Structure 1
Amino acid sequence: MRVFVIGSGAREHALVWKLDQSPRVEKIYVAPGNPGMTPYAERVSINMNQLQELATFAEQQQIDLTIVGPEVPLIDGIVDLFRERGLRIFGPDRAGAALEGSKAFTKELLLSAGIPSARHQTFHSYAEAKAYLEQHGAPIVLKADGNAAGKGAIVALDLETAQDALKQMMVDRIFGVAGDTVVLEDYLQGDEIGATAICNGTHFLPLLLSQDHKRALDHDQGLNTGGMGVFTPLPFVNKTQEAEIYEQVVLATLKALQARDITFTGVLYSNIMLTAQGPMVIEHNTRFGDPETQAFMLLLKEDLLNVLGFVDGEEVDVQNLWYPGSAVSLTLAAGGYPGNYQSGLPITGIEEANKLENVQVFHAGTALKDGQLVTAGGRVLSIAARGDTLQEAVDRVYEAATYIHFEGMHYRKDIAHRGLAVRK
């Protein structure tokens, strides 16, 4: 089988790495990819927003399956285009991807279907949003309606922070058109987790529950990021609770979409708050998470192609899906991230880290400059590790980090702290 992966980050590197292990895969292409993928895939110089060019390449190379990593091509309708041209592609169409592309659409869908979520109001006017904010007070959550690369949600614990965030979104337009409409919603207290499932429109294959660490600094301090690390599975959620989460969130969402004649296929990755009142949806994503995917691929025992084939009715051995134990991913970020940061800094130590047992380093923001691997993004590398226990996985991922160096490198030192606390 000839497979085409679209994307350039650590998530796509992890997918390519796992696909390369499949006996069913003959050839892997990736557009545009990154230097870490070259041992497994042929890189193609097509940008992710060049949808027509991507489709033409898939036709010319007789690609059997295209896998879309990031959300932007999905929101822009790449699946619709590929299907119109008779090409097999994994992911939701434009209508399904609106779950991630529009926070306002998702909140309205959840409300109409009775799926638990925070109370909210949607605003297109800065003056009206500002007036509501002053009346509501803090704490409050502000969300840019459109896609903002995982940074469009601001948790404001005081009114001054909320007012500043609203102004940045709707007046300064730091997220561009994504902030022209803003959703203001009640602040929820509890444990935030992620639920990931492969969906075929009517049924779903549950993967694993995970917990991301979105804030840049230890103890959940600092600004929101695209994700500083993940651990899976979650020792503080039992099997009964897990089944209820998937039924009340994933299945209920698929049914709500069906009622609107939307057949959702691909990945549904839901952020959920475990509150005293039960699980409540924070937001839906319509693609594999990052850094969740890196941890998942280390723990996945089944052939990834078989798992993705669930959308086409292929049988999946759910009893043999995962290796036992836990997996952790850790993001190594550039100095200053998620604010301004410097690129072009030499990176060393990846080969040494990869020699550790059940450890794999995935490239997120890297480039080659005169034969030297250098930094080329805010999230530079993602280390994933698997262990028989959560503690073992954590120890391995942090040991691997000691081998790697680039100027200004920083990372959180408390990934999986919530899970480790349960185990003690």
Structure 2
Amino acid sequence: MKSLLIGDGAREHAIAKRMVEGSELYAFVSVDNPGISSLASEIKVGNILDANEVILFARHVNPDYIFIGPGTVIEAGVGDALSEADFQVVAPSRAGARLEWDPSFFRFFIQDHAPDASLKFAACESRHEVNNAFRDIGSTLSVSTSESPENHFENPYLAREYAYRSIGDKSSGSSSVVLQEKAEGEDFTLQVFTDGETVSAMPLVKSYTLSENEKTNLSEGVGTYSESNHLLPYISAEDAEKSLSILLKLLRALKSEHNSVYRGVLCARFIITSGGPKLLNISAGFGDPEALNVLSLLKTDFSHLCMSILEGKLWPSIEFKKKASVCKYLVPLGYPEKPKIGIPLSVDEDKISMEGADLYYNSVSIKDGKLYTSKGRSLALLSVADSHETAEDFVESAISAVNSENLFYRKDIGTIGLAQKSMKKMEELQNA
């Protein structure tokens, strides 16, 4: 069996590790990823958003299936073009992925089909409408655009200014900016495999952004953890099941109302509140870093799982290890606004493995066989163990194998103290 992967980040590195176990792997990337290159029989560097380029390489490979990693590739219509060229693509259509790239459509869709999971919101196309939203909904709002979902600001003035600028930016595919209430609670990520009719849940994951006070999320996720029971300390099995049923409702509504059968992976970020789970945003594909956690735990053969999705008969018993996991990204100093680029990196991959961790490359450049920082998150280290505390210890030990004074990371991710902070917050909300 041959497979073709599109994408080049740490998420795709994790996907590649699973694809190569059951197929001969090929990859189309925008920049070389040393981790993916080491696994693929052939790698092509090009424009992953150019359907013609991707199709040309796909015809050269003639894969049994194609897996698309980044949602931007789906939004650009590359997946649709590949399907029209008679390739088997494990990804939703652009129409199905509208839940990710059109925040206004997403919010109205949730309001119509899963009102219990909806939040107060306003879709705004002018400064006047932005001002009305702050007046009617409240002063503490998150701002969502097609380019960047759910940006939080503690300062209402900064939130309003960000919304103004986003409305003035005509480069996005959506004409509106969505302002939604900032719900009180703890967020979590639920990812599912789906053939459009049925869904199979993956272990729940807690993701963190760069700010240790979690007051803003203007960076991508820089760390995650999951528990051995596949829940989280502050999420009950009942709430996890409710969240899964919400996603199933949405997928079936996509099919019945929009004639869009969503086949592939869906990543949903919820917040658990005193009133139950509320849906924050959806990504058309695996989350990042959440993909690293769940794929490291997956026991079922990934390629056979993908084929079952394409056949419309989702594998009935998808298995995951009963283990915990912790992932930490190492990022350049100055990230995300002004990252230090071109700084040499030294990575001892053997030592990382000896310390009980796995390495995933994300945003690095290669010159004369040497690694250098690029503008994004550089690399991720992940460990699997019986508890997230033990996994966190393994990751901390492995970090010493990465030598650069110009990288930093959140030390608290995966620790008992951070998990207890989430539990305490939920206890206070429930007792309020």
Question: So what's the TM-score if we normalise by structure 2?
Answer: 0.90
Partner of residue 357 from structure 2, selected from 359, 363, 368: 359
Q: 2:97 is paired with a residue of what secondary structure? A: helix
Structure-2 residue corresponding to 1:341: 339
Q: Which residue in 2 is equivalent to 1:170? A: 167
**What secondary structure, in the 3-state scheme, does the structure 1 residue paired with 2:338 have?**
coil
* Map 1:112-123 → 2, pairs under 5 A: 112-115=112-115, 116-123=117-124
Change (3 A) 1:170 1:179: farther
Deviations 1:52-79 (Å, cap 9, x if unpaired)? Answer: 1111211222111111000111112222
1:297 is aligned to: 295
Question: Which portions of structure 1, spanning 4 or more consecutive aligned residues, are displaced by more than 4 angstroms?
Answer: 420-424
> 1:233-262 CA distances to partner (integer Å, 9 max, x unpaired)?
323323333222201x21111122122122
Q: 1:318 to 1:236 in 2, by over 3 A?
A: farther
Aligned to 1:271: 269
Give the corresponding residue for 2:222: 228
Paired residues for 1:96-111 under 5 Å: 96-111=96-111
Structure-2 residue corresponding to 1:53:
53
Q: Any conservation in 2 of the 1:298–1:358 contact (CA below 8 Å)?
A: no
Q: Counterparts of 1:153-232 in structure 2 under 5 Å?
A: 153-171=150-168, 173=169, 176-177=171-172, 180-214=175-209, 216-221=210-215, 223-232=217-226
Report the secondary structure of 1:141's partner residue: strand
CA deviations 1:147-188 (Å, max 9, x no partner) are: x2xx442223332222222233224x3x94257410011110
Aligned CA-pair RMSD: 2.2
Q: Measure how far apart 1:135 and its partner are.
A: 5.1
**Number of aligned residues:** 413
Q: Deviation digits for residues 294-323 of structure 1, max 9, x if unmatched?
A: 11222122211133234124563636x112
Change (3 A) 1:296 1:114: closer
Structure 2 residue aligned with 1:142: 143
SS in 1 for 2:188: strand
- CA distance in 1 between counterparts of 2:216 and 2:143 reads 16
Provide structure 2 residue ranges, at least 5 long, that are not aligned to the other structure: 425-432
Give the AA of the match of 1:127: H
| Matching residue of 1:5 | 5
Deviates more, 1:383-392 or 1:308-317: 308-317
- Distance in 1 (CA, whole Å) between partners of 2:108 and 2:216 is 30
Determine if contact 1:345/1:407 at 8 Å carries over to the other structure: no
Give the letter for the 2:66 counterpart. T
**Counterpart contact for 2:120–2:137, Cα < 8 Å:** no
- Which residue is equivalent to 2:129? 128
Mapped to 1, the partners of 2:136 and 2:202 lie a distance apart of 41
Which residue of 391, 394, 397 corresponds with 2:392?
394
- One-letter code aligned to 1:220: E
Q: Is this contact kept in 1: 2:141–2:152, CA < 8 A?
A: yes
Q: Quick one: distance in 2 between partners of 1:209 and 1:318?
A: 17
Listed one character per residue, the Cα deviations across residues 380-422 of structure 1 (whole Å, up to 9, x for unaligned) are 1011110111111111112111221224211111113443668
Matches of 1:324 and 1:382, distance apart in 2: 22
Matching residue of 2:68: 68
Q: Distance in 2 between matches of 1:16 and 1:60?
A: 19
Percent identity (aligned): 23
Shift of residue 356, structure 1, vs aligned partner: 2.6
2:35 paired residue number: 36
In structure 2, do the counterparts of structure 1 residues 279 and 29 end up closer, same or farther at CA, with 3 Å as the change threshold?
Answer: same
1:78 corresponds to which residue? 78
Q: CA deviation at 1:204?
A: 0.9
Does the 8 Å CA contact 1:299/1:323 hold for their aligned counterparts?
yes
Q: Give yes or no for the alignment of 1:381 onto 2:379.
A: yes
Cα pair 1:104 1:122 within 8 Å, conserved: yes
Q: Pick closer, same or farther for the CA change 1:27–1:8 going to 2, 3 Å.
A: closer
Equivalent position amino acid for 1:38 in 2: S
Greater alpha carbon shift after TM alignment, 404-413 vs 2-11: 404-413
Which letter does structure 1 place at the counterpart of 2:242?
A: E
Q: Is the 8 A contact 2:195 2:313 kept in 1?
A: no
CA contact (8 A) 1:307 1:316 kept: yes
Give the C-alpha shift of residue 213 in structure 1. 0.3
| Contact 2:192 2:202 (C-alpha < 8 Å) held by counterparts | yes
Q: TM-score, normalised by structure 1?
A: 0.91
